[in-house]
């Protein structure tokens, strides 16, 4: 009898030591950490732009394919480098999709531009990228037909699939010297791109036909890494 009582007490103490959420469901340490981060997030608006602020960082408010993060914006915008004392490190997925912004300046705290962040921004002409940027997500600037001025910094390591698809106002492109991944159709249908392309030795993965339907597509052949490929 005493042995059974001791076992019962031991089991009870073990259960009490586990993290429990309000619904009574017992969660692992990683699960409760993620839950707390989501619950701790706050939304802040600065100069008309919505941000989501977490415990250690902030990002422009993300959206979905049916509900964009910052709908209705127009004109020139500048992303904050810090919100409520937290560095802004990412442009959220679908954050500025289909807006009427004309230019955007992104601060040196940002390392990641999310999926479709600026897709279908039909009036966007100029993007000022930071030297901190490492990732340009899938379709991040896709179908921005008026985008003519953008300098790809050498800090960039990943250019996602269709990142600049259909940007017919682009006339040249600089491949970052530290680029590791160039996604499928990254510059497809950028019909006015011309000049020469240099693919760096850092390249690890090249997607299918990143320059399809451009004036340099047929010259790239098998993508000679580390060499200049002329038009």
Give tens-digit pLDDT for 78-95.
999 999 999 999 999 999
The verdict on residue 221 lying in a domain is yes
The verdict on residue 46 lying in a domain is no
The verdict on residue 7 lying in a domain is no
The verdict on residue 105 lying in a domain is yes
Give tens-digit pLDDT for 26-51.
445 455 444 445 557 999 999 999 99
Q: Tell me which residue of 208, 212, 175, 207 sits closest to 190, measured CA to CA.
A: 212
Q: Say whether pTM exceeds 0.85.
A: no
The verdict on residue 39 lying in a domain is no
Q: How many CA atoms does the CB half-sphere of 80 hold within 13 Å?
A: 22
The verdict on residue 55 lying in a domain is no
The verdict on residue 126 lying in a domain is yes
Q: Which two tokens stand for residue 128?
A: 């000022």
Q: Which residue has the higher pLDDT, 197 or 15?
A: 197
Instruction: Judge whether residue 222 has pLDDT over 90.
Output: no
The total number of structural domains that make up the chain? 1
Q: What is the CATH number of the domain that holds 220?
A: 3.80.10.10
Q: Tell me which residue of 123, 49, 121, 36 sits closest to 91, measured CA to CA.
A: 49
The verdict on residue 26 lying in a domain is no
What rounded mean pLDDT belongs to the chain?
Answer: 84
Range of the domain at 224: 61-229
Give tens-digit pLDDT for 92-130.
999 999 999 999 999 999 999 999 999 999 999 999 999
């Amino acid at each position: 009898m005493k042995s059974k009582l001791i076992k019962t007490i031991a089991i009870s103490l073990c259960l009490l030591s586990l993290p429990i959420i309000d619904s009574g469901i017992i969660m692992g340490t990683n699960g409760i950490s993620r839950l707390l981060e989501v619950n701790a997030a706050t939304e802040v608006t600065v100069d008309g732009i919505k941000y989501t602020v977490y415990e250690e960082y902030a990002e422009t408010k993300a959206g979905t394919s049916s509900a964009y993060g910052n709908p209705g914006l127009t004109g020139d915008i500048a992303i904050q480098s810090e919100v409520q004392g937290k560095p802004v490190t990412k442009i959220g997925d679908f954050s500025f999709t289909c807006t009427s912004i004309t230019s955007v300046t992104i601060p040196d705290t940002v390392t990641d531009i999310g999926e479709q962040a600026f897709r279908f921004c039909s009036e966007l002409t100029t993007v000022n990228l930071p030297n901190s940027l490492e990732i340009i997500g899938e379709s991040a600037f896709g179908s921005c037909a008026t985008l003519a001025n953008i300098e790809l910094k050498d800090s960039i390591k990943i250019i996602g699939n269709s990142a600049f698809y259909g940007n017919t106002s682009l006339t040249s492109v600089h491949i970052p010297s530290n680029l590791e991944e160039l996604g499928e159709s990254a510059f497809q249908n950028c019909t006015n791109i011309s000049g020469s392309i240099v693919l760096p030795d850092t390249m690890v993965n090249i997607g299918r036909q990143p320059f399809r339907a451009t004036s340099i597509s047929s010259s790239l052949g098998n993508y000679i890494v580390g060499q200049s490929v002329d038009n």
